[in-house]
Structure 1
């Protein structure tokens, strides 16, 4: 390294030798050195300024680009960043077809304890037990002092309970805000809604998830943040639903039934205007499943009889045999059918209560009188190879596709083999089981002109565009025959002046668990459509083990139990559905009008 001397000694010595002034040389040298130092400092300052300018330019460029991106993107709700599990909040409301709320969210609080901060655990335990009677003071005190640091006390509290806990005044009692699912109508449409509970939980939030019904079936849609502000619109009509549940509960009590189900469906769109199952429950306080493994599923109020109930639906199936035979060109409504006797192998079939309908009846009369023998002969004309696919095309052999989480598990019970005996028994609804909802869809297919209907609980404006199952003429003839069942047959108690109902009764002996059938227990069904002249709705009423004791003898058939319930439902709900009653001519009470 070469060092530059501070003083130019050679020049100074030369100046002294020649008599020049050495101080001037030193001052000149000092000036030159300062100029070099100043030039270096100026260069460093310029580099620093250039660097700062580049930093500011880069920062403003980034900020400007980010602002441009935000301005060009879709707006999003801000989210709070935090550690731990990301808990989704917000769940869409559920409303009926008219926008009335069926399920919504309510802000509440949870109560938890930081045990290390408790001042007097024994006093806190006593006072909490006084506020919440289901809690035990001794158990609470033991849990407060067993070494754990955190303890949930209540996941949901009312504002009044929260105030009482506040008044205890212990710093170890803490509150966590959260949303809970609220069903403002109580038990109304409980089996459709199902219920909800808490999923992932934190002290300051909790995730609401569906546990049953449509809440669980459409859980992803209801929890989707992008659709949280858009309510889920169901096809149910809240007023009609309330009316049907009231009539069903009254009918179950009046006929001492174990339970019952009602389905009201639009025959063109497949929309379910009402779906009721009795007994019901309150989804705000959903009961626990039955603990007894030997109990029947229907013993629980959680059991949805309309969807999960898989029953032998009896003579309601007879119209399907008649419709298929007409579609195949084998018969017409006026074709005579043998109603005298029917045997398949060693199996001999008989009529209900051993009725004798004579040697022959027309197809229309077979349906009107509900002849087992006549229907069996029609079924044998069709054959099992054609009968089974036809029943499948109506949706009777598969689980219902309706938007309920319970539906896929309610598969019909269908024989593995299909000999002639099954062909006959299936034609009048015995030996195989299906759900009332499947039956509703099948009747809707006949009532709307012959196109298949898929049931739905979601509101849709346009009619269904399903495949054709039978021709329009066959469908019209089938409805005509069902109308005769009401006017002249086994469903005469559904005859009324205001509305024309067409339908078919079905009384099926209830099977035992170990095999065989009960002698005194039945499942009664009335499948109907109205108005008969231009069907718009299908109505299914099913009662489990009903009994009519109003007469001199006990009666258990559908004509005496399910039919009156259905008639009352039509009478009360048809005006709510916008159907105008027929105006019956009024008698003049013996007076004669005289023209002046």
Structure 2
């Protein structure tokens, strides 16, 4: 062991000697020590410079923040809430919907000192504040809680005066509808976040506004107004007449639509009961939602289907004329009821004799109309109604349009009952559109809620009946307006023609004997039709002179609408030249 220890000791000494020799050699090399000292100073300079730059940068930012103006609102929450929507205007530029700048109240619960004090003070400014819910939010372990959306500037000022820590405001947009209920079902409404829920408001979101909003391209941007086809003056008249009729005739509902037969533009569409889009959901004193009020959301003109009764006789006779199975000079036997499949089809006020085609229309004969449908045949009948767009969903901008219903399999009994308006349910909007095609020269033009020129309409029009058939139908409409059930809608000087429809209302899948769904479809002026008006009234208990058929309820509605709206639409009354219908000729 001593030998090994001596060897290790000698080896250790040799390493120390070699290290000392190397150090000595390095020191003897010229400039080595000077070079090493320069590198050290250079490194220290870089380090000091980095620290100085860092401190200067931090100091500059602190000065910038100190000089910046303190924001008056918070930037928390959903950044899309402040997104704008375009104004909506009528065809004449009248404002229908616009955005108002509002603020909403929020809280940072982590900064709330005394939740009870905050709730008590806010309740003095905000009506109907839910104390329990607000207190719960203020006690949450979060950095943001909405307390109340869309406050008035006065409420904001009062809350700011309270000096509550942890309380802030965020700018928002609130949709305002100057017309209130008048055009509610057309314009629609939005939710609290300014997203379209119904009507043309929803249509705008479906056309890309919602996508632009999602990426922040509508925030603070002035958007071009959206012009609709409706005339708010005519809309006000239609809505007022429908509301008055529903009340006077003790009905469940009523409505009306006015179309331009040359372009398909909807000038007015009213359905009552309705609602105020400024307050789409009404809250009762106990905090629950008023369900009866929400029933007004239902638009019976485009979102509901009904059996339209004898208005369908217009389509049946047009079908027979177009198929050349009948002419205006034809006569049809209506002397006896028709018995088929366990049913007896008879006339409401039968003449019990043969009738000419104008008389079939005038007296609204179920027997004669069924005979005309039988001449065409089941397949031809179904094809004709399909061509008129009465068996498929109408193509228009309005969301939520209802789809018509029809028998799964058409049998002879179906064709017979459908000929006079029972067995097929359509929307009043598409019924008016199909009727317009019968008197405008034979062109079916999709209804629209946006402006459309005659040239644009021509590119969309589809010929559904011959021009000669259309001329015959203008004659029948005019004849009935002067001699038949349309007399109740006649407005002196405006040459109104039309057809009534009184249908037994379907209740729980069965026809009710004591309830009617009434409609009247009319056009004016009949020498050169420009506008189509259709009025409906659901389950009236009474009517003019105590009657409750369409002639006593829906026809007077059309009369008032035309009498008040025609001058506004530029239709000049003419007296003495149109007192007699067209000459009775066959084409």
Q: Shared fold by TM > 0.5?
A: yes
> 3-state SS of the aligned residue for 1:505?
strand
What is the 5 A alignment of 1:54-133?
A: 87=80, 89-133=83-127
Distance in structure 1 (CA, Å) of the matches to 2:575 and 2:380: 44
Distance in structure 1 (CA, Å) of the matches to 2:491 and 2:176: 40
> 3-state SS of the aligned residue for 2:327?
coil
Q: 1:495 aligns with which of 490, 506, 517?
A: 490
Give the match for residue 42 of structure 1.
Answer: none
Note closer, same or farther for the CA distance 1:151–1:85 as it changes in structure 2 (3 Å cut): closer
Q: Report the Cα offset of residue 297 of structure 1.
A: 10
Note closer, same or farther for the CA distance 1:102–1:477 as it changes in structure 2 (3 Å cut): same
Deviation by residue 1:280-334 (Cα, 9 ceiling, x = unmatched): 11111112799xxxx9999810000111121010000001111111111111011
Distance in structure 2 (CA, Å) of the matches to 1:210 and 1:177: 19
What is the 5 A alignment of 1:347-358?
A: 347-352=343-348, 355-358=349-352
Give the match for residue 316 of structure 1.
Answer: 311
Deviation by residue 1:171-212 (Cα, 9 ceiling, x = unmatched): 22100012222212211210011111245xxxxxxxx31111
> 3-state SS of the aligned residue for 1:503?
strand
Q: Report the Cα offset of residue 148 of structure 1.
A: 4.3
Note closer, same or farther for the CA distance 1:330–1:577 as it changes in structure 2 (3 Å cut): same
Distance in structure 1 (CA, Å) of the matches to 2:443 and 2:243: 33
Note closer, same or farther for the CA distance 1:321–1:289 as it changes in structure 2 (3 Å cut): farther
Q: 1:418 aligns with which of 406, 410, 418?
A: 410
1:212 aligns with 2:181: no
CA contact (8 A) 2:112 2:165 kept: yes
Give the match for residue 405 of structure 1.
Answer: 399
Give the gaps of 5 or more residues in structure 1. Answer: 8-81, 200-207, 586-596
Give the match for residue 362 of structure 2.
Answer: 368
Note closer, same or farther for the CA distance 1:521–1:454 as it changes in structure 2 (3 Å cut): same
CA contact (8 A) 2:106 2:147 kept: yes
> 3-state SS of the aligned residue for 1:509?
strand
Distance in structure 2 (CA, Å) of the matches to 1:198 and 1:301: 19
Q: 1:438 aligns with which of 420, 430, 449?
A: 430
Deviation by residue 1:477-513 (Cα, 9 ceiling, x = unmatched): 1111111112111121112322111100001111111
Distance in structure 1 (CA, Å) of the matches to 2:543 and 2:89: 41
Output the aligned Cα RMSD: 2.8
Distance in structure 1 (CA, Å) of the matches to 2:486 and 2:362: 9
TM-score in terms of structure 2 length: 0.79
CA contact (8 A) 2:533 2:558 kept: yes
Q: 1:175 aligns with which of 157, 169, 172?
A: 169
Q: 1:331 aligns with which of 309, 326, 330?
A: 326
> 3-state SS of the aligned residue for 1:491?
helix
Distance in structure 1 (CA, Å) of the matches to 2:403 and 2:291: 17
Give the gaps of 5 or more residues in structure 2. Answer: 1-24, 31-74, 285-289, 578-587
CA contact (8 A) 1:115 1:151 kept: yes
Q: Report the Cα offset of residue 168 of structure 1.
A: 1.8
Q: 2:138 aligns with which of 138, 144, 155?
A: 144
Distance in structure 1 (CA, Å) of the matches to 2:345 and 2:322: 26
Higher mean Cα deviation, 239-248 or 127-136?
Answer: 127-136
1:380 aligns with 2:366: no
CA contact (8 A) 1:497 1:584 kept: no
> 3-state SS of the aligned residue for 2:325?
coil
Q: 1:570 aligns with which of 548, 562, 565?
A: 562
Give the match for residue 263 of structure 1.
Answer: 257
Give the match for residue 238 of structure 1.
Answer: 232
Note closer, same or farther for the CA distance 1:362–1:297 as it changes in structure 2 (3 Å cut): farther
> 3-state SS of the aligned residue for 1:568?
helix
CA contact (8 A) 1:298 1:305 kept: no
1:134 aligns with 2:128: yes
Q: Report the Cα offset of residue 581 of structure 1.
A: 1.1
Deviation by residue 1:58-86 (Cα, 9 ceiling, x = unmatched): xxxxxxxxxxxxxxxxxxxxxxxx99976
Distance in structure 1 (CA, Å) of the matches to 2:283 and 2:128: 20
> 3-state SS of the aligned residue for 2:236?
helix
Distance in structure 2 (CA, Å) of the matches to 1:486 and 1:425: 24
1:306 aligns with 2:301: yes
Give the match for residue 14 of structure 1.
Answer: none
What is the 5 A alignment of 1:533-552?
A: 533-548=527-542, 551=545
1:186 aligns with 2:172: no
Distance in structure 1 (CA, Å) of the matches to 2:454 and 2:414: 38
Q: 1:506 aligns with which of 491, 501, 507?
A: 501
Distance in structure 1 (CA, Å) of the matches to 2:203 and 2:491: 39
Q: Report the Cα offset of residue 229 of structure 1.
A: 2.1
Q: 1:340 aligns with which of 335, 339, 346?
A: 335
Distance in structure 2 (CA, Å) of the matches to 1:331 and 1:298: 50
CA contact (8 A) 1:447 1:479 kept: yes
Q: Report the Cα offset of residue 338 of structure 1.
A: 1.1
Note closer, same or farther for the CA distance 1:287–1:301 as it changes in structure 2 (3 Å cut): same
CA contact (8 A) 2:314 2:435 kept: no
Note closer, same or farther for the CA distance 1:275–1:221 as it changes in structure 2 (3 Å cut): farther
Higher mean Cα deviation, 576-585 or 103-112?
Answer: 576-585
Note closer, same or farther for the CA distance 1:489–1:184 as it changes in structure 2 (3 Å cut): same
Q: 1:428 aligns with which of 420, 426, 430?
A: 420
Distance in structure 2 (CA, Å) of the matches to 1:136 and 1:328: 68
> 3-state SS of the aligned residue for 1:210?
coil
Distance in structure 1 (CA, Å) of the matches to 2:158 and 2:451: 44
Distance in structure 2 (CA, Å) of the matches to 1:345 and 1:255: 36
Note closer, same or farther for the CA distance 1:147–1:306 as it changes in structure 2 (3 Å cut): same
